[in-house]
Amino acid sequence: MVYGQNAVMPIEFENKTLCTATKLGNELSEAQKERILQLNQLDELRKFALQNIILIQQHCMKWHDKYIKTKPFHSSDWALLYDSKYKDNLNKLQTQWLGPYEIEQVFANGVVKLATIENARFKLLVNGHRLHLYHKPNNKEDFMQQFEGLYNPPETTDGDPLGSPSI
């Protein structure tokens, strides 16, 4: 208590509630009985609202799950890995995919174990949502020849590097 100020009483003693009325042995008036009925109705309304919320959430979950596409990955498939560091930097000439990687194992929770296609000891566990199925060539030699063709373009027969017809 502070000198010169009124004492602060708990709310239950200022506003007579059912708890304080029963402790003090007071008779319940008609207004208090009506208030108890209103509180009981309020509890019923809360339960009804909670049931409606659960039904709406289940309906939204069914609608959302209907449009989820599953990606069936199998071991020995090839996949491209999404590089999330370029998510905000949208450069149209910069690739956002890494790989390809070979899928070693697929776990039940959607995690995929990857290895490089050069059979290196690099192992990587990633979420399956970050992967895109890569349609591999028939064998690794064909795949490596595709890359060699990109880096070493064939030369033209007349010696012109652009391959334009001479005038």
Determine contact, residues 78/101, Cβ cutoff 8 Å: yes
Report CA Rg, the chain: 36
C-alpha–C-alpha distance, residues 63 and 88, integer Å: 29
Inter-residue contact 73 to 103 (CB < 8 Å): yes
> Is the pLDDT reported for residue 159 higher than 60?
no
Q: So what's the pLDDT on residue 118? A: 79
The mean pLDDT of 118-142, rounded to a whole number, is 80
Q: Note the pTM of the prediction, 2 decimals.
A: 0.47
User: What one-letter code names the amino acid at 43?
Assistant: D
Where in the chain are the domains?
A: 11-66, 78-87+94-151
Label the pairing between strands 97-106 and 123-127. Answer: unpaired
- Structure-model confidence comparison of residues 118 and 106, the more confident one: 106
The mean-pLDDT minimum among 52-56, 126-130, 140-144 falls in: 140-144
On average, the pLDDT of the chain sits at 77
Question: What pLDDT is recorded for position 61?
Answer: 94
Could you read off the pLDDT of 41-91 as tens digits, one per residue? 888 999 999 999 999 999 999 999 898 877 888 888 889 999 877 677 767
CATH of domain 78-87+94-151: 2.30.30
